[in-house]
Structure 1
């Protein structure tokens, strides 16, 4: 079975009001939601059609007490969570949560890159694969991943060293610097750039596919969310927007070119 190492395979929202967040994303992205049936915690599976895309859970009390806010985290597939966590630490990252089991599913760990952007590792049980990748642009799936990095060059070195990511196209954005696309397994998966000065801390953001951006932006506002950037056209003709859901979690949407 081919390894998915280095690919984003799951996305998870930790939030302060799971019922309200579920309603919001159902309305905005069109997901369905179902309880995962886990014996010791409430965990909701968010799906696009029949395909699971991500999970939804309450922000743990200890995370909130430490200043944690609602937000999305992406899981990157690895063959060995322990070994990769050690490599991340050796490369200047931080292990926020050491590898542990989710029974019957796999092992996960929570990692901070050298500048503080957080992501998770996922090692599937028995070497199995996560959900299969959907065709590019499939509504309800994640169409883009974006790192607002503490420093583009050193961040790229960190992720390339861990996951084998390679450079794809680079866009010169003038005073904002270079927007560097990255590929995994030969497929362009997202982009990264040195964060603008007004962004308080480095972070990973995720763009959910929608069929049309203006209608989606209207749904965001109607459902109680905020638009903080866009809608705007980006190189290649796609349209994007970034927003905050009603609990304050950052999210983004991407739609095909208009026409």
Structure 2
């Protein structure tokens, strides 16, 4: 991902909904060195910010709805969350939560594309989004896994106006001339019970070392460190409570 700051239409934030926030703090601190602090206000509902140094990079929170599986959610920046929701529903997506104001920080909504992949819309006010991208331990790529390739390309172009760098095997999305993510078509190697979803990738200096740290901390390697033809070295991890994420070695990560 070449974006270095939140921009309209681009990924701006990531949140983990999890069964056990304290355990997640421990796991992600071991994997990425995150320093996590939970908002003490009762109305914050256990919302926890993760930082690298002083830079905010992600959030952890209890499950928003009982019965939903632990998962990472990618948020995309919107100048007007309500208008973005209207575009989502007009294009065949669905509204799951909101839109609602979050203190004085911004306005957000949780939506799903026509195939059911969940993502968030964030209209920043006091908080625009992550302070850091692409650095080790920070968001570096956002990947949609779906069985409905053409429908997804049309939907996201209509909602966000993303550019598409066409590829038969792996289209890449961009905003403002900068690529930030891609689309992986789920084939028969994916179990049918795995739903379409967005998968955040965190940058890493050493994918093998990060994957080993995740495994040692109780995670499961869904994809062990692998070199992608004409692409980076990647791994996909399931954390101890079941949320999946990726790590990758971008060429420009120092």
For residues 144 and 235 of structure 1, what CA distance do their matches in structure 2 show? Answer: 17
For residues 49 and 210 of structure 1, what CA distance do their matches in structure 2 show? Answer: 16
1:3 Cα shift?
8.3
1:234 Cα shift?
1.6
For residues 36 and 139 of structure 1, what CA distance do their matches in structure 2 show? Answer: 25
Q: How does 1:230-249 map to 2 (within 5 A)?
A: 230-249=224-243
Contact 1:111–1:118 (8 Å) recurs in 2: yes
Please give the secondary structure, in 2, of the residue aligned with 1:179: coil
Change (3 A) 1:89 1:139: same
Matched residues, number? 244
Contact 2:57–2:131 (8 Å) recurs in 1: no
Matched, 1:7 2:10: yes
The aligned residue for residue 221 of structure 2 is 227
The aligned residue for residue 172 of structure 2 is 181
Please give the secondary structure, in 2, of the residue aligned with 1:248: coil
Change (3 A) 1:244 1:186: same
The aligned residue for residue 141 of structure 2 is 144
Please give the secondary structure, in 2, of the residue aligned with 1:216: helix
For residues 54 and 232 of structure 2, what CA distance do their matches in structure 1 show? Answer: 25
The normalised TM-score by structure 1 is: 0.88
Please give the secondary structure, in 1, of the residue aligned with 2:111: strand
Matching residue within 173, 186, 195 for 2:186:
195
Contact 1:3–1:79 (8 Å) recurs in 2: no
Contact 1:48–1:139 (8 Å) recurs in 2: no
Contact 2:97–2:110 (8 Å) recurs in 1: yes
Matched, 1:27 2:30: yes
Aligned-residue CA RMSD in angstroms? 2.0
For residues 31 and 235 of structure 2, what CA distance do their matches in structure 1 show? Answer: 13
For residues 256 and 133 of structure 1, what CA distance do their matches in structure 2 show? Answer: 15
The aligned residue for residue 130 of structure 1 is 129
The normalised TM-score by structure 2 is: 0.90
Contact 1:232–1:241 (8 Å) recurs in 2: yes
1:256 Cα shift?
4.1
Deviations 1:153-189 (A, max 9, x none): 110111111111111252x4xxxxx211111121110
1:50 Cα shift?
1.5
Please give the secondary structure, in 1, of the residue aligned with 2:165: strand
1:132 Cα shift?
4.4
The aligned residue for residue 213 of structure 1 is 207
1:35 Cα shift?
2.1
Matched, 1:254 2:252: no
**Which structure 2 segments of 5+ residues have no match?**
none
For residues 15 and 84 of structure 1, what CA distance do their matches in structure 2 show? Answer: 26
